[in-house]
Structure 1
Amino acid sequence: MSEQLDHYSNKFSSEKFPIILITADVSSPANLGSLFRLADAFHIEKIIFCGIDEHIIDSNRLKRTARSTQQHVLYEFKEDIYQIIDQLSAEGIQLLALEITDDSVAIANLPLEKNQRLALIIGEENIGVPSGVLERTSKIIHIPMFGKNSSMNVAQATGIALYEITKKLSSFQ
């Protein structure tokens, strides 16, 4: 019979991935809590929350969803997303926006290089990544979908994107 493993007894790699997650006005406490859990699960560098009140971190809903991951995932709050993406771009970090556009690339077709540092930008729950941000990214990526809806929950989409990106980066090891 299989035995369920916990945080301390699993055999997963502790590899840290050179990925920064940037949120553009994502404000749902449940989604933010989920993003903390995803950042921990995929062991990314940090999350930069842009355009939201930093007191949201005290939300009970966020804390319940995050399941204490907000205590050890690095994060910061920035008011101006344009300033942070310009700074990261100047540092040579590839900026990826997760959005469906007329020229977005399916995430499976995203070319990555070994040791490449990335910033994954995700957008607000209803309107997505702002067009001004999309114009400043090096690539816009999307998750192919097969139903009638053209979007999915921001945390679910982020989980899929981080899985695909970390899988590609792991292949270089």
Structure 2
Amino acid sequence: MIDQLTHEKTSFQKTEFPIILLLDNITSEANLGSIFRLADAFGVHKVIFCGTRPNLKSNRLKRTARNTYNTVNFEFQEDAVSSINILKTEGYRALALEITSNSKNLHTFELNQLDQILLIAGNERHGISEEVLKLCEEFYHIQMFGENSSMNVAQSVGIALYEITTGFNKFHKK
């Protein structure tokens, strides 16, 4: 018989990666709750909410986040541009998760062992703002195989965090 494991019985090792997730005006409480869970699951160092302050009293956010809003390091900054500029001076590599005229397939993403990643995701309807895109050094998209050209922001953040943390894990296993 196969036993389904509880949170307490898994063998997962708690790990924090040098990843900051900057959310450029993401407003959906369900997406924000999902992103809290993803940040926890993938060992994100910090989440920075920019533009619209998240409603941490929202039942929808709380249900979706499943208490991770109490354990994930996060902050709110009005201005995404100044936050990005500060993090870039601290050595963070600014990556936009956005379909652009020069974005590359996320599967081609390469990581150096000492990289610090600033992963930027944008608004559910309009994506990353133009002023924020101008500050990004690299642009990545998720290859799509259906008729739609985009997916939900929380889902795309999950896929991106998987790719990035897989890269970091290769260095830890050597």
Report the TM-score range of the alignment, normalised by the length of the smaller protein: over 0.9
Code of the residue aligned with 1:23 in structure 2: it is L
Distance 2:20 2:78 in 1: 16
Q: How does 1:107-122 map to 2 (within 5 A)?
A: 107-122=106-121
What's 1:38 paired with?
Answer: 38
Q: Name the counterpart of 1:85.
A: 84
Displacement of 1:13 in angstroms is: 2.1
| 2:126 is aligned with 1:127 | yes
In the other structure, the counterpart of 1:13 is 13
SS at match of 2:171: coil
The one-character-per-residue Cα deviations of 1:16-66 (angstroms, maximum 9, x if unpaired) are 111011000001100000000000000110100001134x11111100100
Letter in 2 for 1:20: I
Shift of the alpha carbon at 1:115? 2.6
| 1:57 counterpart SS class | coil
Alignment TM-score, normalising by the size of structure 2: 0.96
Instruction: Give 1:25's aligned residue.
Output: 25
Work out the CA distance in 1 between the residues paired with 2:170 and 2:105: 18
Q: How many Å separate the matches in 2 of 1:53 and 1:121?
A: 16
> What residue identity is the alignment partner of 1:156?
Q
Partner of 1:164, secondary structure, is: helix
Alignment: residue pair count: 172
**TM-score normalized with structure 1 length:** 0.97
Segments of 4+ in structure 1 off by > 4 A? none
The CA distance in 1 between the partners of 2:94 and 2:154, in whole Å, is: 19
What is the rounded CA distance, in whole Å, between the counterparts of 2:4 and 2:142 in structure 1?
A: 31
SS of 1:87's equivalent?
Answer: helix
Deviation at 1:157, TM superposition (A): 0.5
